[in-house]
Each structure stands twice: as structure tokens, then as C-alpha cells.
Amino acid sequence: MLFNAEKVKNDCVNWIRDFFEKNGKGCNAVVGISGGKDSSVAAALCVEALGKDRVIGVLMPQGEQFDIDMSHLLVNHLGIKHYVINVKDAVDGVLSALPADMEITAQTRQNIPPRIRMTTLYAVSQSCNGRVVNTCNLSEDWVGYSTRYGDSVGDFSPMSNLTVTEVKQIGHILGLPEVLVEKTPIDGLCGKSDEENLGFTYAELDRYIREGIIEDQEKKAIIDRKHAANLFKLQLMPCFVPDDF
């Protein structure tokens, strides 16, 4: 089925309006701004749905961020209120407080920053009558490319059923600067691009998701393995239920 980006964009805008009507009438949308396509499109969708006066961008560098200018480009383009909150001291504080005899893994170091950023977003949201926007897309969720209780959460998710390819199409329709929509996606954690980390391109992944087609069987195996291993990130926490209940 041909993707109708204009229709999906309009439907998503209406969905956001309906969400706020039911779950926070008069509240603000609070968006973590990374300068990539996902936060850019999420913020632009909220601006169209609610108006720029009800969208708050939060820039959260960890010390010096080499591409912070992209985040400033977005908030200036949209004309939204924004805060810059550096999370370096908070991240360093957690790491330095861990026991000296504990071996701190690379995964620990990579996942603390997004969890601190989500804490920061909720601090802003609860201080500014807000609702936190989840900026994940279907492609990333499919292979678990997010941090649980970090960028994987939020109060509402406008793009979790849209692939990277589809998000980019909507970004162009929204009139976002080309450099933001087509910016090479990086995880902001280890310095590599998403596709370098994943071992396949988003174009390959998106076609596999939507059409079930992928020529490279090694890449298919990687995708299937990641999808199965990371489904827990999209599910509710397992809970024990006593037999008598």
C-alpha cells in the first residue's frame, strides 16, 4: 500500500489534539530535542496540533555536544520556547556514586544519560503543566534501539507506528529544514551512526517491516534476533498473580 504522508500527518495531528483534549486539556507538549529527525518531526507535529505556544523543547547536552546547533536550528525554526539543561553533572554524579569495587560496564555508561534525560524531561513537564512526548519510531522499536525507561517512554507517542522512511516523508511535508530530516542518525552515546551500530540500513529494515522482503539473509537473521530479544521493551513489566486472584 502506498504511504500517504499528507493524510497520515493530518491524522496524527488530529490524534495529538484528541489526546490532549482527553489527557491534559490546556497542557503543554514537552519534547526532548536532539536535533535529529525524530525529535524534529515530533515537535513539528505538536506545533501544528497545539500551536507553538504550547510546545516546549528541552535541549540536554552532556557537556559539549558537537551538533547542538541542529537543536537550536529546530527550536528557532519552529519558534518554540526551549530550555538548555546540561546533564553532565547528573550523569557523572551517578557514576561517581557507584561502589568503587563495582565494574561499570559500557552498557551502564551508555544507558545512564538517556535515563537522566528522561528524568529531566519529567522535571520540566511537571513544572510546566506538560505531557512528555515519546519520540521513538517503529523501526527503532522493532529492533529495540532505545533505552528502557529512557527514550523508550513518555506520555504519548505520535510516531511509534511509523517507520524511519515514513517519518522522514512527514518531516518534509511539515516543511522542516532538509538538514534536520536527512541528518545521519547517531545514538548520541558511543559516537557511531545508528546503522553502524545495527548492522543494516533503515531502508532495509523498513522494507522488511512493511513488505517482509530482505535479500541479505545474514541481515534478516540480525533483525529477527534483535526483534525477539527486545520485545520486552514494548511490553508491560511481568507481574506475579497469586493463584487465588
Q: Could you tell me if residue 127 is inside a domain? A: yes
Lowest mean pLDDT among 21-30, 34-43, 97-106, 232-241: 232-241
CA dist., res. 96 & res. 92, Å (int): 6
Residue 240 lies in a domain: no
In a domain, 64, yes or no: yes
CATH code (residue 101): 3.40.50.620
**What digits encode the pLDDT tens for the residues 180-234?**
999 887 755 556 788 888 889 999 999 999 999 999 999 999 999 999 999 999 8
For 4, other C-beta atoms within 10 Å of its C-beta total 11
Name the strands in the sheet holding 28-33, side by side, starting at the edge strand that comes first in the sequence.
Answer: 81-84, 55-59, 28-33, 130-132
Instruction: Give the tens place of pLDDT for each residue, 12-40.
Output: 999 999 999 999 899 999 999 999 999 99
Residue 231 resides in a domain = no
Determine the structural domain holding residue 13 and report its residue range: 5-194
Check: CB of residue 44 under 8 Å from CB of residue 171.
Answer: yes
| Grid coordinates belonging to 36 | 535529529
Overall domain count for the chain: 1
Q: Please indicate, yes or no, if residue 111 is contained in any of the structural domains.
A: yes
